[in-house]
Structure formats: structure tokens, C-alpha cells
Amino acid sequence: MSKLENKVAIVTGAASGIGLACAQRYAAEGATVVGIDKNLSPQWQSVESTAAQSRFHQLDVTDAAAQNAAIRATVDEFGRIDILVTAAGVGAGGPVSMLDEADWDRVIDINLKGTFLSIKAVLDTMMAQRSGSIITVASVEGVNGTEGGSAYNASKGGVILLSKNVAIDYGRLGVRCNAICPGFIKTPMFDQIMGQMPELQADVIRETKLGRLGAPEEIAGAAYFLASDDASYVTGQTLVVDGGYTAGHSHGIVQMLGLV
Ligand SMILES: NC(=O)c1ccc[n+]([C@@H]2O[C@H](COP(=O)([O-])OP(=O)(O)OC[C@H]3O[C@@H](n4cnc5c(N)ncnc54)[C@H](O)[C@@H]3O)[C@@H](O)[C@H]2O)c1
């Protein structure tokens, strides 16, 4: 029996990149998958064709009423929620003196408040079940500062601490919550931001100890582990999946020595 058979998973940001890869993986592992995104995507078809059952709700995660209605509809139809992945997010920022208040608000609203609203929407159901796995998608940029990061880093740092607090508050009610911190993953968001900066992209790859960008499926693998019963004693953790980007600095010594 597949490990996610009979489980119901909700994935935000499911139309693209990391969220889509999580939805595809959960579908392949036998789950019923409910996607939430502000955009529709032809790739959702791949989830529909493999999931036990699937639904898609087109909505903005900052719209609490719309999101609550989608979660209610999920519970009414499928009777439970076992997994929530919050992957809806946007990347934007800039040095503080150059960042408009409206841009700050947009990033914090979607990345941090949107995550809060998604978690809030599923908690009653998970508490009543006395089980559930919440997986937030933060970032290595929520662990360390990044040049020009500001709003994005603040939002992701907030997501990490919010996830720990949810783990603390709801652990005794059977609800686990962990944050995944991806490094640099080749998704439409990455291409949109880094596509215009090839030198920065090369620099990121140089600092990534595996010497390459990550694939969305490699984040979905971590999200699968955290959703599964194999992670039944894992909560309140920050799982960094970054190809070694944050392991420490490399200065080319192993190349100089001819090791690689
Ligand atoms: N790609 C990376 O290198 C990387 C690294 C670290 C963290 N992340 C995080 O992973 C998550 C997914 O990013 P991705 O790279 O797959 O990007 P992506 O742009 O490919 O996917 C993000 C999805 O979120 C949706 N979305 C954005 N705002 C929304 C809103 N208000 N309501 C509903 N849906 C909304 C988009 O429509 C899109 O489908 C984001 O939270 C991002 O910050 C990405």
C-alpha cells in the first residue's frame, strides 16, 4: 500500500514550481490532492490524472474567506485533511531604502500572512482528527540574510518561526508542523528573477556544494517525507534542502588541489 493512500493533502501554490511538484508527488503516492493557486495551470492535469481524487480552487491565499470556503468544501467532500503544504509565494525585495511600502506589504501579505491564513484554515479539522502534518515552504533566505533580501527574507524568517510556534502549540493535539527551506530551485519564479542576472546565477551555483541548481521534485521529496508517517516524530524543525549552499563558504581550494 502506498504511504499516502487514504490521505487528503492540500497544497497552496499548486499551479507551478515547488507546489506543483509536491501535488504531483502526493498524487503519485496515492493521496487525494486539493490544489490552491491564484492562477490556473495546464500542468494540474498531471495531478488530476494520477491522484486518487483531486480538486483545484483558484483563489488568492490572502483572501481568508475564499480560502476558508475551499477548506470547508474539502472537509465536506473528503471528510478530513491530513497534509497542508504552503508553497504559494512571491519573490521580491531590495535594499530597505529602495523598497516601496506597497512592495513590502505585498511580499509580507502573500508569503507570511497567506501562510498564517492557510494554517489557520486547516487547524480546526486537524485538531478534531488529532492528526495532521503542516509543511511550510520557507527558504534558506529565511535562515540567513541575503544582499537586497529585506522583505523576502523577513517574510521567510517569519514563516520559520510561525512554523515552530504551530509545532509547539498543537503538538499535544497530534498536529506536526515543519518548515522546508529550499536553496536555489529551478522554477518559473527562479527563472523570472535570476534569468536577468546570469552572473548572480553562476555565483549561486558556485556556492552550492553540489554544483547545480535544485529541481522542484527534490523539494517535493522532502515534503513527502514530512507528510508521511516516517516523520511521525518530526515537528518544529527547519529542513534545509539546498545542495549544501548554507554548509559554509568554499573558496576553490579543492579545485586548486585538483580534487574536483
Ligand atoms: N525557487 C526557489 O529557488 C525557491 C527557493 C526558496 C523558497 N522558495 C519558495 O517556494 C515557494 C514556491 O516557489 P516557486 O519557486 O515554486 O515559485 P513559482 O512562482 O513557480 O510558484 C509559486 C506559485 O504560487 C502562486 N501564488 C503566488 N501568489 C499567490 C497568492 N497570493 N495566492 C495564491 N497563489 C499564489 C503562483 O501563482 C505560483 O503558481 C515560494 O514560497 C517561494 O518563496 C522558492
CATH of the domain at 66: 3.40.50.720
Q: Is the pLDDT of residue 2 over 80?
A: no
Distance of CA 105 to the CA centre of its chain: 20
Pairwise CA distance, residues 27 & 47, whole Å: 6
Pairwise CA distance, residues 137 & 160, whole Å: 9
> How many Cβ atoms sit within 10 Å of the Cβ of residue 184?
22
Q: Are 18 and 87 within 8 A, CB to CB? A: yes
Q: Is residue 231 part of a domain?
A: yes
Neighbouring-strand partners of residue 137? 180
Identify the residue whose C-alpha is closest to ligand 1 atom 40: 89
Q: Are 115 and 155 within 8 A, CB to CB? A: no
Q: Are 47 and 80 within 8 A, CB to CB? A: no
Q: How many domains does the chain have?
A: 1
For residue 68, give the amino acid letter. N
Q: Is residue 127 part of a domain?
A: yes
Query: What is the distance in A from the centroid of ligand 1 to the CA of 236?
Result: 22
Identify the residue whose C-alpha is closest to ligand 1 atom 36: 13
pLDDT of residue 152: 97
Q: Is residue 2 part of a domain?
A: no
Identify the residue whose C-alpha is closest to ligand 1 atom 14: 17
Query: What is the distance in A from the centroid of ligand 1 to the CA of 189?
Result: 7
Show the ligand 1 pocket: residues with CB < 6 angstroms. 13, 15-19, 37-39, 60-62, 87-91, 110, 114, 137, 139, 182, 184-185, 187-190
Query: Catalytic: 26?
Result: no
> How many Cβ atoms sit within 10 Å of the Cβ of residue 252?
9
- pLDDT (mean) for 70-90: 98
Q: Is residue 155 part of a domain?
A: yes
Largest CA distance in the chain: 62
Query: What is the distance in A from the centroid of ligand 1 to the CA of 90?
Result: 5
Q: Is residue 40 part of a domain?
A: yes
Pairwise CA distance, residues 112 & 170, whole Å: 19
Ligand 1, from 10, 12, 16: best to mutate by most atoms within 8 Å of Cβ?
16
pLDDT of residue 55: 98
Beta-carbon-side half-sphere exposure of residue 97 (alpha carbons within 13 Å): 0
Q: Is the pLDDT of residue 82 over 70?
A: yes
Q: Is residue 185 part of a domain?
A: yes
Q: Are 119 and 134 within 8 A, CB to CB? A: yes
Query: What is the distance in A from the centroid of ligand 1 to the CA of 260?
Result: 34
Q: Which of the residues 26, 152, 224, 245 is marked catalytic?
A: 152
Q: Is residue 3 part of a domain?
A: no
Domain coverage including residue 43: 8-256
Q: Is residue 1 part of a domain?
A: no
pLDDT digits (tens, 9 = 90+) for 32-64: 999 999 999 999 999 999 999 999 999 999 999
Q: Is the pLDDT of residue 173 over 90?
A: yes
Query: What is the distance in A from the centroid of ligand 1 to the CA of 27?
Result: 19
pLDDT confidence of 3, banded at 50, 70, 90? confident
pLDDT confidence of 93, banded at 50, 70, 90? confident
Identify the residue whose C-alpha is closest to ligand 1 atom 32: 60
